[in-house]
């Protein structure tokens, strides 16, 4: 497995261990992970730090040239907010762990020229299954339902 997805899954597992929504992400520039993170809704009461957003935030301020040569790895199909961040920063490629639990804005991303790859990993599905069984209300809140 690519190092970016490995890091994203580690982040998701860490989120689960903290009692949080187990979605993780990593931003990879060239061969280097420049940001990694996971959903912080429960841990910090954050409504904007989804896994992808946390990875972007932890990467810090970057010039457009870095984003435009980066890949964003995420364990779950990106929601409208995270997809919008991908479009804002012109990230050209997104690798997704799974989209069975939740189908985000993959069609919009593709329509705008982003390369979207879905790995369909059972490991990512299982993390979400466990969390949603325990805390359906937190999951619904996280996706605005």
Select the span of 6-14, 15-23, 82-90, 120-128 touching a second copy (CB under 8 A). 82-90
Asked if residues 33 and 4 have their Cβ atoms less than 8 Å apart, the reply is: yes
Q: Is 19 in the site for a second copy (CB under 8 A)?
A: no
CA atoms in the 13 A half-sphere facing the CB of 33:
17
Total of chain residues touching a second copy, rule CB under 8 A: 34
Q: Which residue in 13, 84, 118, 135 binds a second copy (CB under 8 A)?
A: 84
Select the span of 2-10, 17-25, 62-70, 124-132 touching a second copy (CB under 8 A). 62-70
User: Is there a catalytic annotation at residue 137?
Assistant: no
Instruction: Collapse the DSSP code of 16 into the 3-class scheme (helix H, G, I; strand E, B; otherwise coil) and give the result.
Output: helix
- Kindly state the helix (H) or strand (E) to which residue 38 belongs, with its residue range: strand 32-38
Q: Which residue in 17, 61, 113, 133 binds a second copy (CB under 8 A)?
A: 61
Q: How far is CA 32 from CA 59, 72, 80, 113, 119, in A?
A: 11, 12, 26, 24, 21
Select the span of 5-13, 75-83, 95-103, 114-122 touching a second copy (CB under 8 A). 75-83
Question: What residues act catalytically?
Answer: 52
């Amino acid at each position: 497995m690519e190092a970016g997805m490995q890091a994203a899954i580690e982040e998701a597992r860490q989120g689960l261990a903290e009692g949080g929504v187990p979605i993780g992400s990593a931003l990879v520039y060239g061969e280097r992970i420049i940001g990694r993170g996971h959903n912080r809704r429960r841990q910090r009461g954050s409504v904007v730090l989804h896994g992808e957003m946390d990875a972007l935030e932890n990467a810090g301020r970057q010039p457009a040239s870095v984003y435009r040569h980066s890949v964003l790895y995420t364990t779950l199909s990106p929601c409208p907010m995270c997809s919008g961040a991908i479009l804002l920063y012109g990230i050209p490629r997104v690798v997704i762990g799974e989209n069975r639990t939740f189908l985000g804005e993959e069609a919009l991303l593709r329509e705008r020229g982003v390369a979207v790859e879905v790995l369909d990993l059972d490991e990512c599905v299982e993390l979400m299954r466990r969390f949603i069984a325990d805390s359906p209300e937190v999951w619904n809140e996280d996706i605005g339902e």
